[in-house]
Amino acid sequence: MSTVNDSVAQQRVATLNIRHGGKRHSAALTSRLLRYDADVLVVTEFRANDAGASLMSRLGSEGYETSHPGGDPGRNAILVASRAPIVRSWALDDTLDAERLWCVEIGTDVFCGVLFPNKELKQPYWSAVIDAARRGGVDLFIGDFNTGNNALDKDPKGIPFINADMPRRLVDSGYVDLWRSKHQGIREYSWYSNRNNGFRIDHAFAVSPLADRTTMCEFDHEPRLLGETDHSALVCSFG
């Protein structure tokens, strides 16, 4: 995906699900994350184990500050890495697992990393995001939503999404689906099932002022195609 490496922008944000901590392909995934040359990285299915510590150390040596909710090293969580200082970090909703919704304040922007569970278990997390969107204060929700629109975000033969109305509700709350805003009517998938049915489940939703500055929002399928992880990365640039 040439646009990831060739685009020049004032700010770049990238997200990648590294699959259960990424231990099997730790070096390759770390190098890939660094190649995105992102100002902010949101790493989903990060784990606070030895592989996670190695990833944070390498990112630190490249000038990134990192933040994650901590917890059980065997549980999937979210890691946020930023070149600019992280002012503060917190769970979006104290009643839910911090590993699933982790917020950071960087400069004047607030980013919320997302790692939703599957099926009906994601309902309370979606509700928390919608409530937060209506209250305001979060500029960008980005990560693995495990959800999409049943019309265009899945293979026609794939199992329908649960909570497929939630992305639209988030948009109705004033947020913009950054990838869809640049790819109207297009089918492109970030994860595939065992039956080889594709689904677009990795997303970035931004408030209008940030969305208006979006110059690029593209998937990088290489980490998935090379077997480093089972997800494609999503990379967004803002002018």
All domains in the chain, ordered by first residue? 2-238 (3.60.10.10)
The closest of 50, 42, 54, 53 to 18, measured between CA atoms, is: 42
pLDDT at 1 over 70: no
**Residues 220, 221, 223, CA angle at the centre, nearest 5°?**
95
CB 93 within 8 Å of CB 101:
yes
Q: Which residue has the tokens 């803002």?
A: 238
- Count H helices and E strands in the chain, helices first: 8, 14
The closest of 47, 18, 44 to 31, measured between CA atoms, is: 18
The closest of 117, 113, 139 to 44, measured between CA atoms, is: 113
- The pTM of the full predicted model, rounded to 2 decimals, is 0.95
Percent of the chain whose pLDDT exceeds 70: 96
Mean pLDDT of 12-41: 98
DSSP-assigned letter for residue 8: -
Mean pLDDT of 15-36: 98
Mean pLDDT of 202-222: 98
Tokens for 1?
């995906």
pLDDT at 3 over 60: no
Q: Which residue has the tokens 């998935």?
A: 224
Specify the pLDDT at position 205: 98
In whole angstroms, give the CA distance from residue 120 to residue 99: 17
The DSSP line for 172-204 is HTTEEEHHHHHSTT----SEE-TT--EE--EEE
